[in-house]
Chain A
Amino acid sequence: MDLFLPESGLVIWMLIAFGIVFLILAKAGWPMIMGAVDKRNKHIADSLHAAEEANASLADIEKRSKEILAETQAEQIKILKESQDMKTQIVEEAKAQARLEAEKIVADARLRIEKEQAEAMDKVKDEVVALSVSIAEKLLQRELDDKQAQSDYIEQLIKNNNRIEA
């Protein structure tokens, strides 16, 4: 049957037409389309990758900033605590200093008081001596007048003197 026999004329036309179209499309058609699609695919993949990376670095930065914040907070607390400590220490020191000073002043005062006391005692003793001398003087003047009275008087003096000495 003729239907199943290829026609030479049609084969030739087909070869020419298909060959030309194939060559044109293979040169100027498909590579551009395929290339552009590939290029865009790559571009999109790259962009996605870059975005992912940016996201990751953003998360990293966030994490870092949180860390820094935490660090500064810790620092702040530490500094506050230190200043508190320092304050109490200074107060303590000042207190100790003051106490020392006070003790010194008290000691000085006591020393002076003792000294003054001693001085006063000395004065008193001097006066006692002077008094006794004056008494003795007076006695000596009265001795001559009355013997009895004289001895009473001496006794009284001695008594007084003892009382003073005690």
Chain B
Amino acid sequence: MNKVIKYCSLIALLTLSLVGISFGQDAVAAPEPESQPIEAEKEGSKGFDAKSFIFSHTGDSYCFHITEIKGEPICVWLPVIVKSKEQGWCVFSSKHVCELKEGETYRNFFIQPMDAEFKPGKLVEINQAGEIVRPFDISFTKNAFGVFFCCAFLLAFFLPAARKYKKDPMAQPTKYQGMIEWLTSMVLDGIIKPSIQGDKYKKFAPYLLTVFFFIFFNNLFGLIPFFPFGANVTGNLSITLVLALITYFFVNAFGTKHYWKDILWPDVPIFLKAIPLMPIIELISTITKPFALMIRLFANILAGHIIIMVLMALIFIIGGMYGAGMGGAMAIISIFMSIFMTALEMLVAYIQAYVFTMLSAIFIGLAQEEPETKAIKTTK
């Protein structure tokens, strides 16, 4: 029985170290007593803090944490780029700020602990007045790395196919080209063409295809728990905000006259337009659509990541409450549950990319509507 628990705990530890989390002291204590002092020293008497554990891994970070060996973190240090009011532009490796002990600063910068009131987990500065302020921060963070990694992947994935097609469009496609074709036409024929009428889809297809594969691959990469994957890119509001803004731009910048007429002077009784009630509502609706896109993608992906992290945290919470045996038992359940969740998240990865692209395409399609096509629709 003891052996079984030991094995299970070992499996759990292996998985958890891949996810790159700090070992909770109680779960490790019984099967590997020699690691107890280090863990106890590190965690102190605070116990396991599930909240900071979860949000430090679903949120952004200044370094790419890979694993920890005997309390020594193994990280990819990313550049910190900040502009403070007092020091101007500062560029340095995040190694300096990530390894600071509590109370220390590097050039007056330090990272707020996760349980802090003001900007937890972010880089802050102590100015000369002794106040903690947030500098203008364009650090190349974990998520920025994730974005660039995915972008590089997209280019490396799609450009060779494009080059092959450019060279000889009528040649028999290779397996790789077949895959690209399958992926592309899945989006093109399944989402874009049904949503945007006529030949206008050609104008918007590049954006919609790019956004689909950007979201899809980022969602999938977010599920892979080791470097260079694992950044929770699409579960970050900044990313979905940019995507929603671009969709907003494509919907409204290319909107037809008819579309703008429907917004600013819709076919409603005059008293609803004279005091511009309807136009205001319509204008707000143009903003709510991309806003919903932003929140939907962000919340879905973040929720998936949080669930997996909660399942992991449960091991340590249960272990802390009932001892190592229960923690080990919980590890088995947690691992099976997180396997299930990861499978579900793969489905969600596709569905959310699909939904974002589909809705973007529909909004663009609605803004491309011409009066005569609408007349046909209403008579039907």
Residue B98 at the A interface, CB < 8 A? no
Contact between chains at A7 and B165 (CB < 8 Å): no
Using A14-B144, A32-B165, A39-B169 as known contacts, say yes or no to A9 and B184 having CB atoms under 8 A apart: no
Contact stretch, chosen from A20-28, A106-114, A120-128: A20-28
Checking B159, B184, B238, B302 against A7 with a beta-carbon cut-off of 8 angstroms, the contacting residue is B238
User: Once the chains bind, are B239 and A12 in contact (CB under 8 Å)?
Assistant: no
Which residues does chain B contribute within 8 Å of A29, judged by CB atoms? 155, 158-159, 162, 206
Contacts of A9 in B (CB 8 A): 81, 137-139, 141, 144
A33 in contact with B162 (CB, 8 Å): yes
**How many chain A residues touch B (Cβ–Cβ < 8 Å)?**
35
Enumerate A1-46 residues with CB–CB distance to B below 8 Å.
Answer: 2-15, 17-18, 20-22, 24-26, 28-37, 39-40, 43
Q: Kindly specify which of B14-22, B63-71, B118-126, B344-352 makes contact with the partner chain.
A: B118-126
Nearest B residue to A25, CB-CB:
B210
**Does B246 sit at the interface, judged by CB under 8 A?**
yes
B206 touches A10 (CB 8 A): no
| B140 at the binding interface (Cβ < 8 Å) | yes
- C-alpha gap A7/B236 in the complex (Å): 9
Count residues of B near A (Cβ-Cβ below 8 Å): 52
| Complex: A165 Cα to B169 Cα, angstroms | 130
Contact of A25 among B81, B136, B154 (CB under 8 A): B154
B181 at the interface (CB under 8 A from A): yes
| CB-based contact B138/A8 at 8 Å | yes
Q: Verify if B170 is at the interface (C-beta below 8 Å from A).
A: yes
The answer to whether A33 and B207 touch across the interface, beta carbons within 8 angstroms, is: no
* Residue in chain A with minimal CB distance to B166: A32
CB distance A8 to B214 under 8 Å?
no
Q: Is the CB of B170 within 8 A of A10?
A: no
Residues on A with beta carbons closer than 8 Å to the beta carbon of B166? 32
Bound Cα distance from A18 to B155, whole angstroms: 11
Q: For residue A15, which residues in chain B have a CB less than 8 angstroms away from its CB?
A: 242
Is the CB–CB distance between B122 and A34 below 8 Å?
no
Partner of B209, one of A14, A25, A36: A25
- Classify the secondary structure of A's interface with B: helix
Interface string of B39-74 (1 = CB under 8 A from A): 000000000000000010011100000000000000
Question: Which residues of chain B come closer than 8 Å to A20, judged between CB atoms?
Answer: 151
| Whole-angstrom CA separation of A138 from B136 in the bound complex | 192
Taking a contact as CB atoms closer than 8 A, the residue among B81, B151, B169, B237 that contacts A21 in the complex is B151
For residue B205, CB closer than 8 A to chain A, the reply is: yes
**Given known contacts A3-B59, A13-B148, A17-B148, A28 and B159 CB-to-CB distance under 8 angstroms:** yes
Across the interface, do B184 and A21 meet the contact criterion of CB distance under 8 Å?
A: no
Among B121, B138, B155, B207, point to the contact of A26 (Cβ < 8 A). B207
CA–CA, A21 and B237, complex, Å: 20
Which of B60, B143, B185, B214 sits near A18, CB closer than 8 Å? B214
Q: Which of B169, B184, B238 contacts A14 (CB 8 A)?
A: B238
Contact of B180 among A11, A18, A33 (CB under 8 A): A33
Option from A10, A28, A35, A43 in Cβ contact (under 8 Å) with B144: A10
B241 contacts A by Cβ under 8 Å: yes
**What's the Cα separation between A27 and B148 when bound, in Å?**
19
A2 touches B158 (CB 8 A): no
Instruction: Mark B150-173 against chain A: 1 for CB-CB distance below 8 A, else 0.
Output: 010011001101110110011000
Q: Is A33 in contact with B158, judged by CB distance below 8 angstroms?
A: yes
Tell me if B138 and A18 are in contact (CB < 8 A): no
Residue B330 lies at the interface, judged by CB distance under 8 Å to chain A: no
The smallest beta-carbon distance between A25 and chain B, in angstroms, is: 5
B147 within 8 A of A: yes
A32 to chain B, nearest CB (A): 4
Interface string of B301-328 (1 = CB under 8 A from A): 0100000000000000000000000000
A32 to B59, CA, bound (A): 37
Residue B223 is within 8 A (CB to CB) of chain A in the complex: no
A36 touches B154 (CB 8 A): no
A85 to chain B, nearest CB (A): 65
A3 touches B237 (CB 8 A): yes
Please, could you name 23 A-B residue pairs with CB atoms under 8 Å apart, sorted by A?
Answer: A2-B119, A2-B120, A6-B237, A10-B236, A13-B144, A17-B147, A21-B151, A21-B214, A25-B158, A25-B206, A29-B159, A30-B158, A30-B162, A30-B184, A30-B206, A33-B158, A33-B161, A33-B165, A33-B180, A34-B184, A34-B205, A37-B181, A39-B170
Binding site for A on B (CB under 8 A): 55, 58-60, 81, 119-122, 136-141, 143-144, 147-148, 151, 154-155, 158-159, 161-163, 165-166, 169-170, 180-181, 184-185, 188, 202, 205-207, 209-210, 214, 236-239, 241-243, 246, 302
**Given A7-B141, A21-B214, A37-B185, list of 5 further CB < 8 A pairs?**
A13-B147, A22-B210, A29-B159, A30-B205, A33-B161
Closest 9 CB pairs of A and B: A26-B206, A36-B165, A9-B138, A10-B238, A13-B144, A32-B162, A6-B238, A36-B169, A21-B151
